Structure 1
Amino acid sequence: MTRTCTSTICEVWSKACHLFAAISSAKFSRLKHDLHSLKKGNLPFKEYVAKIKGTCNLLEASGHLVSTAEQVNIVLARLSVEFDSMLTITSFSSEPLTME
């Protein structure tokens, strides 16, 4: 009887780990999608950047680091034409940009 209980407990634990991994993978995929589809729209610039940082923090908490360079690229790639002058200035910068 002990052997059956042990194997059943192991099977349950294995199944739980498998389900958790699937949920974690789905959540990671969703967060990554959210990060790359976020647009500034009518949001104030600070709020837009804060949303990107927040999503990156969630990804980091789940073990998936988003580099500062990638975060900056995401911010810049989703800006509307009203920010073209800022994009031009940043493209000539010799210093790496930060999220600040």
Structure 2
Amino acid sequence: MEGDKWIPLVNIKDEEKIWAGTKVKVYNVGLNVMERKDDYYVYLVSYIFGNGDYLQLTNLSQGEAGNIVYVIKKDTPNHYALGKTLKYMIGLENTFVLFE
């Protein structure tokens, strides 16, 4: 993941399509915020089984993996959410996006 191109969420357009498979990195939210500058969690945007209206953000980070922290409303009838929805739910500060 070192060579990946993480984009600050603030630079994402409101109408950007956020598909399942997108990763989101949020800094200063882990258990070691006071001790480390590189304290962050990484989330994966994915579909919710049996729910066609929302996408979920599942934590991929060690010790928190599998926890669902956020859900974002899809831009129905499409199968993606919009950048403005992600911004509203997570906030812009210390948040980065990786499109894969």
TM-score, scaled relative to structure 2? 0.21
* Larger Rg computed on CA atoms: 1
Structure number with the higher helix fraction is: 1
- Higher relative CO (Cα under 8 Å, sequence separation at least 6) belongs to 2
Structure number with the higher strand fraction is: 2
